[in-house]
DNA sequence: CTTCTGAGTTCCTTCAAGAGACTTCAAGAC
DNA sequence: GTCTTGAAGTCTCTTGAAGGAACTCAGAAG
């Protein structure tokens, strides 16, 4: 829960946090991504309070990250990732990569990814969209952009 | 507000959130990354409550993401990213990429990255660490790993 | 017409976040 | 030696979000 509203900051990190930075939101997206698309499923899987789950789902739908759609001709709904939401899964995959490396311990990673293109169990790596070489913290200069406040 | 502790979940996303998922933590890391390394600087830059900043910095140091080191032969300290913390900047760069694409609007991105290897203004792209091809949500199968709870 | 089920809604308690004043410690100024 | 300054917190109070559990509502099944 962030009481301070980050969305006015001239910072894409802050703005992204305003969309998915609240407690539970990334885990809800993970659940939807792996196929838990209904209220009861997500609630049971995460053990989240129903009240908070309602709030988070509403927020994620408002932000265009999830789509709420009826099924079964009853007052029943399921949640699916929009394109905007699907691209957020990138963020989850990087979180998994870091967590696997630094926090998984003896037991090893809880989840594995098999890459369709090569068929191997693999993980994500950050590359420059322009030249394809690795692009991490030490590989860039940070410059003011057109949308900077100053 | 009692917060659920995510660290016991068999999920690298949950564990990562337990380290940097609290409100403000990613913004604090961003500040340290771009060179605001002292308490007063970070507090002034973010407008965060001093109490919360103290809590966050302590937590990040405990988690091994930041290192607290004295300077100036006085009771003065600055915070620097450890290796563990530097690798978390990957996460920030992906957040920036998503925020730039979906939330920046007319004004454009607030910050730009120039990649050392090619000298171009660029952004990160997720690639398979094994074969180098793009690796996004739709490009993988998710499988249970050795550390899965089941 | 009663029961069941999915999807919430309501209510109450506890504890975190926000705001801002206060403290501490060493260095340099007078 | 005392006074001031500045960095880095600490303290106190208020507000409101998260947790938990019970309750509601609509349509389907029996």
Q: Which 39-68 positions of B have CB less than 7 A from strand D?
A: 39-41, 50-51, 54, 57, 68
pLDDT tens-digit readout, A79-130: 999 999 999 999 999 999 999 999 998 899 999 999 999 999 999 999 999 9
Show residues of chain B in contact with A117, CB under 8 Å.
128, 131, 133-135, 139
Q: Check if residue A24 sits with its Cβ under 7 angstroms from strand D.
A: yes
Nucleotides of D under 7 A from a protein CB: 6-12, 16-22, 25-28
Q: How far in angstroms lies nucleotide C16's C1' from the CA of residue B49?
A: 12
Q: How far in angstroms lies nucleotide D27's C1' from the CA of residue A51?
A: 23
> How many Cβ pairs within 8 Å bridge chains A and B?
307
Tens of pLDDT along chain B (150 residues)?
567 899 889 999 999 999 999 999 999 999 999 999 999 999 999 999 999 999 999 999 999 999 999 988 788 999 999 999 999 999 999 999 999 999 998 899 999 999 999 999 999 999 999 999 999 999 999 999 998 875
CA B68, CA B56: separation in Å to the nearest integer? 12
Going through chain A in order, the beta strands assigned E by DSSP cover: 66-70, 77-81, 111-115, 121-122, 124-128, 140-144
DSSP A67-110: EEEE-TTSS-EEEEE-HHHHHHHHHHHHHHHHHHHHH--TT--S
Q: What angle do CA B50, A15, A113 make, to 5 degrees?
A: 105
CA B113, CA B118: separation in Å to the nearest integer? 11
Show residues of chain A in contact with B53, CB under 8 Å.
none
Rounded to two decimals, what is the model's pTM?
0.94
């Amino acid at each position: 829960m962030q009481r301070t509203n980050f969305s006015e900051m001239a910072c894409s990190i802050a703005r992204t946090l305003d969309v998915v930075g609240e407690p539970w939101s990334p885990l809800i997206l993970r659940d939807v991504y792996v196929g838990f698309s209904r209220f009861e499923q997500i609630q049971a899987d995460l053990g989240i309070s129903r009240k908070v789950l309602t709030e988070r789902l509403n927020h994620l739908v408002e932000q265009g990250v999830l789509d709420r759609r009826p099924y079964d001709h009853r007052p029943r709904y399921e949640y699916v990732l929009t394109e905007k939401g699907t691209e957020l899964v990138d963020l989850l995959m990087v979180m998994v990569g870091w967590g696997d490396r630094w926090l998984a311990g003896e037991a090893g990673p809880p989840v594995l990814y098999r890459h369709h293109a090569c068929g191997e169990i693999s993980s994500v790596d950050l590359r420059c969209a322009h030249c394809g070489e690795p692009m991490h913290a030490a590989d860039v200069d940070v410059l003011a952009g057109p949308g900077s406040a100053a």
